[in-house]
Structure 1
Amino acid sequence: MQPLKYLACYSSDIVQQVQSLVDAGTLGQVLLRRYPSLHDIRSDKALYDYSQALKQSYLRQSQPVSKVIFDDKISLSHQALGLHSYVARIQGRKLKAKNEIRISSKLKRVPEPLLKMVVVHELAHLREKEHNKAFYQLCTHMLPDYHQLEFDLRLYLTCVNAAQCPYQAMA
């Protein structure tokens, strides 16, 4: 089996613990106990409304977001689950600029806290473009358990990679 690539930045003790769960086939059950249900955000409109509510709560003064959609083209091979882009277009003599957020459609069938973590991450890019200390402080301001959820999302991706994802069978 391929090494636990989503956990490469963690200590060898943590990687070893996760590897033992994968080897025993119980990683999916650990996630299922922690997050027993999936979110019900299935459409781009629902995702936009969800994102706007978060933005309104924490980033009211930031630039507006014109589009938030699930995107089938975002793949895990590019190490991305979401993308924030600042799109500039020329219309006549005017320069129109828009912020767009794209979330991998693979996140349509995950627990809500994991989706929220990715949305918060992409919204934080409205203020902080780089993944620096200020960026992660903003993420934890919006979502206090951001780092735990990021780790749990890495566990979820490891689970999918090991073909042990318990959420695939859920309706």
Structure 2
Amino acid sequence: MIFRVATRRDLPAVLALLADEDQVLDPATTAVGEEHERAFAAIESDARNEMLVLTDTGADGTEGSDGTVLGCLQLTYIPGLGQGGQERALVEAVRVRADRRGEGLGAELMRLAAERARGRGCGLIQLTSNKRRTAAHRFYERLGFARSHEGFKLPLERP
């Protein structure tokens, strides 16, 4: 497996993972709209944001010819005055292909993300997860994440 920063070429596969976590969707049939292009460009150009992917490797250990995206996550680095002024890493959009779950890919993806955040000097990693995703909650707890806060969201109307 290869863990790397996503490229524009990965966008359909990432969107397929985010669209339905219970099925494997063909990235070739995943619509990439202008809003996705803008969002990806913003992530790509922001030093505090990274969309990361875990891809399959070929027999020679290099990225397979099809570059199958097996998992993804977004890391956002947040400066703050708490934690002794250390940055924190916010993890979002964590997904592993439905047909590859149970192989340790999610744990490896999160381990590599934590290593990346630690290397940047982050003091902690935080994330939120939809209350309905109980299997994901068990997964995060197995990795050592603690339910330390209650999250709130306020949808904003678009102008």
Q: Please report the TM-score for the alignment, with normalisation by the length of structure 1.
A: 0.28
Greater fraction helix: 1
Q: Please report the TM-score for the alignment, with normalisation by the length of structure 2.
A: 0.30
Greater fraction strand: 2
Greater relative contact order, per chain length (Cα 8 Å cut-off, separation 6+):
1
